[in-house]
Every structure is written in C-alpha cells, then in structure tokens.
Amino acid sequence: MAKFLLVSGSPRSGNTELILKKIFEALPKEKELILLRQKNINHCKGCLSCDKLKKCVQRDDMQAIYPKMQAADVLIIGSPNYFDNVSGLMKDFIDRTNPFYKTDKLKNKKAFFVVVGGGEVENS
C-alpha cells in the first residue's frame, strides 16, 4: 500500500488546507498531513553544508520531515498562490529540501501539486 505525505504551505486555515484535508480523507490509511504553519522551519542559510554532508545542519522541525518525505511513496504539496508564487512558508520548505538535490533519496516518488488562488484570468 502506498504511503502518502501531504504538506500544506498555507499560513492560514483556508482553502488550501480545506482542499488538502478533503484529499487526505479520501486516501487509504497510510497518510500524514503536515501543516507548515504549525512547524518551526527556519530560512535556508545558504551555507551549502548540505552539499557536503548530504544533510541540513539546522535543528528545527525539518529534521523530522526529511525522513517522512523519504518514506512516502506519494507527495502532495499544497500552497496558496501569492503574487504568482508559492507562500513564504512553502518557499522556505522548498529551499530546505536542498539536501535531497544531488541524491536519489526522492527518486521514483510521485508528486502532485495543489495551488489555490483567486482573481480574474487575464487574456482568456
């Protein structure tokens, strides 16, 4: 059975979280939903220690998320669309996955992205 890891990058309990929770409810038992707004995740320091050591030297909640990402078969990442980009929380999360960049630790995983936004579509 596949293991699912869902990650919400919304700073609020809003539409992104609502959609991820609906997906979460529909999935089989081996699943976890991480709300980044409830985690302590520092900004990437750009020290590049992770390139040499293949792990991040910072001690925060990302240390517990790394093995969950490796154990999951499917990653479902959700973020609100802020100024045509992901939220700051999600950007920090993405930056902090740099230890995986030059490795095979996330190889063959399926990834899905949920981006929630509003407003009018231009040039439609």
Q: What is the reported pLDDT for 51?
A: 85
**pTM, full prediction:** 0.91
pLDDT of residue 33: 98
Q: Judge whether residue 1 has pLDDT over 70.
A: yes
Q: What integer is the mean pLDDT of 9-33?
A: 95
Q: Which fold has domain 4-116?
A: Rossmann fold (3.40.50)
How is the chain split into domains, by residue range? 4-116
Residues 58 and 90: their CA atoms lie apart, in Å, by 17
In this prediction, residue 91 carries a pLDDT of 97
Percentage of the chain with pLDDT > 90? 78
Buried b (16+ CB within 10 A) or exposed e, 80-89: bebeeebbeb
The pLDDT value recorded for residue 124 is: 60
